[in-house]
Chain A
Amino acid sequence: MNPDELEAFRAEVAQWLAEHCPAILREPRADPGALAAAEQGWHRQRAARGWLAPTWPVEYGGAGLDPEQARVLAQELRRAGARPPPISAGLSLLGPVLLARGNEAQKRRHLPGIARDEMRWCQGYSEPGSGSDLASLSTRAVLDGEYYVVDGQKIWTSHADQADWMFCLVRTDPDAPKHEGISFLLIDMKTAGISVAPIRLISGPSAFCQTFFDGVRVPRENLVGQPGDGWAIARELLQHERRALGSIGRGDLGRARTLPELARQQLGAQDGPIADPVLRDQVAQCELDSLALRLTMARAADEAAAGQGGEHVASMLKLWGSELTNRRHELMMTLLGADGLGWEGPGFDATDLRTTRQWLRAKGNSIEGGTNEIQRNLIAKRFLELPQ
């Protein structure tokens, strides 16, 4: 595409945004109650143009944009302050994998529903006995004619209670070495034999579920790739997940309650230095480290754009981002003192109650998506080239 055509496309995007993206949906965020309907309409319109999955082919529900056009679209969406779509396991995780690994029938059947955000997907990876050692998973899928019969149990299946489909890792060959006996199966959640139980966390209700399979019959055509390809596919998909988790952290850092404000509120003194010099130093350290982390994300993007790699930068974001989030929440709890000990109900400030729940939920950030210890193993092996 030549520069003139690209500029014409830019103008088209800006025009379309002006017409279809209502002001209420642009940043900064409006009151949550007021915008639910507008938000739904906006995402539907965007999906109808294929702009939730702009680089996917048109026949699969995308817009068929080349990378340059996709960059222009992203720039214009950002310039307009348009709200990003909600994080979707189908869009950000499964879609790229199906494009690369799915057969034609699977792509035609599943991708358009994902691109239009009509089909909700959940991820069936972890099991009670298989966390960091995911490849030890034991949910079995045994071939019986044209069906796989699935028995076992998955955990941390986010939104499984509302999902239409699950992409799932199953063991199809119990005799093969553990990484080679795994396959990647798409399972309709309405199939008989599936039951789902939500998980209550230390922070209260959550989107996480446990999912049980009892003689669940899944058509053979729902296997992605070949039997035994599951581990390779899972690893590709985990990379997409880490990228998605990194972008969540980015938003949170900007939106969170600021530490200096909280310190002032809890320690008195409306101007001048924060009264407690030890806590003031901890606040400054946290703020300074958040700044350094944001600058590191910016550098990773700049280096990627300049063709200088940037993967080594990105690899640390999940590790360091989650450690910093935890440190920040611990400091908020310290600043709150007994104000942070409320669980619910009257007598406590609503923002304080939220901070307490977030402190508890943030503990999971350094566990989910590969624990920080696994991340350290990866960094040592891949970037520091330390021996096994």
Chain B
Amino acid sequence: MSIATEPTAPLALSEEQGQLQRAAREFAAARFSTAQLRAYRDERDPLGYSRALWREMAELGWTGIPFPEQYGGLGLGLAELGVVLEELGRRLLPTPFLSTVLLTGRALLLGGSEAQKQALLPALCAGERVIALAFQEQGRFAPWQVATRAERSAAGYRLSGEKRFVLDGAGADHWLALARTAGRPGERDGLTLFLLDAGTPGIDCLPTPLIDARNAVQLTLREVAAGPHQVVGEVDGAAEILEPVFDGAAAGLAAELLGVLSEAFDRTLAYLRVRRQFGVPIGSFQALQHRAADLFCERELAISVTRAALRALDAKRPDAPALASAAKARVSDTANRVGRESIQMFGGIGMTDEEDIGLYMKRARAAETTLGDGAWHRDRFASINGY
């Protein structure tokens, strides 16, 4: 398959997207600060985000951006959602957008029965339900490496296995768990999604907060009973749902990460202008100017490819999967480079916990790793393009 070079929708922000950007920027600046993030971390807040703030965002309509109006959404696209996520990323504002909207919400929308959509999506859009996707079992992203088994039983299924890095798993109302109903780990076929209520007997939930102070858990499932009505999508066919869901989530996460790296870069530039050594601002040194100019170029590329991916996904273009991988790869690598350069240019002060730049680097590394890093997505980009 070839990559189209002419995007269908303009890559400039529309008037409406510009308004949304300003609204999200003002909201994030007014309602959140890194002091709050440190408080979540240092007080070991089990959620690591605020349900009240999440409901406020729901009232603004943001949680429902990519869902049809019949389910309580705004009927807009990932392009609009990306605008909001980028602004939240700039402030490191933690929300369940990735788990609840991009992953499980879109999985329900794409694969759920009408009854499941009616039961869950309006509550999700209203900010009243948080649903976490329990799919990952090992460190590196490998979506079909699933050993958790769902054995058939008289009443339906019994699930056993271990799920790790379940984002927003603590305090979630439901877990959408990926289990193997056929085949062996690594095979794309034979996977099935099960909707489990929090508190279901047989599930141990161990909090495993990450370096970015975000909420993640490890779930141990022991003979967990699930009825046929809890299956989301086709039995053995979860990959058909999850592949486009992961594409959308990777592009959405790229948008958030773009905000993270943009703010880290802007703060680094501000520091280069004011930090003085040898009697001059260190930003006057050409060695640092040239590295900053390179980061500037990489950021411009990251913006373009992220916007193109979000628009291609909205238009359901055939090159959308390749663009989603291109976006996640480019933005991940750029965020990693900005993170490293930021700490180096801040010097000793960048090593202290008191300075915020370290929080940006930690979030950047977590988001880079989540849903596949640059190497993973380059491999997929090459495979999609036939080499």
Contacts and interface: CB of A to CB of B under 8 A. Distances in A.
Interface in A93-123: none
Interface string B278-309: 00110110101110111011001111110110
Interface residues of B, number: 45
Contacts of B387: 260, 263-264, 273-274, 280, 283-284
A305 B387 CA distance: 36
B13 interface: yes
Interface string A285-304: 10111011111101100110
Interface string A343-379: 0000000000000000000000000000001011101
A50 B11 CA distance: 33
Interface stretch (B1-9, B102-110, B238-246): B1-9
A254 B386 CA distance: 18
Contacts of A254: 5
Nearest to A307: B12
B78 interface: no
Given A273-B387, A320-B297, A320-B301, A295 B378 contact: no
Interface string B28-51: 000000000000000000000000
Interface string B319-331: 0000100100110
B381 interface: yes
A384 B375 contact: no
B123 interface: no
Nearest to B305: A292
B379 interface: yes
A320 B302 CA distance: 13
Given A386-B273, A386-B283, A274 B382 contact: yes
B12 A388 contact: no
Given A298-B6, A386-B283, A387-B273, A281 B379 contact: yes
A281 B378 contact: yes
Interface in A247-300: 254, 260, 263-264, 271, 273-274, 280-281, 283-285, 287-289, 291-296, 298-299
B300 A291 contact: no
A174 B304 CA distance: 47
B284 A291 contact: no
Which DSSP category, helix, strand, loop or mixed, fits chain A's interface? helix
- Among B12, B269, B303, residue most surrounded by chain A Cβ atoms (within 10 Å): B12
- Among A291, A305, A383, residue most surrounded by chain B Cβ atoms (within 10 Å): A291
Contacts of A284: 378-379, 381-382, 387
B1 to A, nearest CB: 12
A2 interface: no
A316 interface: yes
Contacts of B280: 387
A291 B289 contact: no
Interface size class of A (residues with CB under 8 A): 35 or more
B317 to A, nearest CB: 13
B375 A303 contact: no
Contacts of B305: 291-292, 295
B290 A373 contact: yes
Nearest to B298: A320
Contacts of B11: 295, 298-299, 302-303
A380 interface: yes
Given A273-B383, A296-B300, A386 B272 contact: yes
Interface in A316-332: 316, 319-320
Given A285-B378, A316-B297, A302 B10 contact: yes
B301 A296 contact: yes
B283 to A, nearest CB: 4
- Among A280, A312, A386, residue most surrounded by chain B Cβ atoms (within 10 Å): A386
A299 B284 contact: no
Given A319-B293, A376-B289, 13 more contacts: A254-B5, A287-B382, A288-B330, A289-B330, A291-B5, A295-B304, A298-B7, A298-B308, A299-B11, A319-B297, A379-B293, A384-B269, A386-B292
17 contacts: A260-B382, A274-B382, A274-B387, A280-B382, A281-B379, A287-B381, A287-B385, A292-B305, A295-B5, A295-B304, A299-B11, A308-B12, A373-B290, A377-B293, A380-B292, A384-B269, A384-B293
Interface of B: 3, 5-7, 10-13, 269, 272-273, 280-281, 283-284, 286, 288-290, 292-294, 296-297, 300-305, 307-308, 323, 326, 329-330, 375, 378-379, 381-383, 385-387
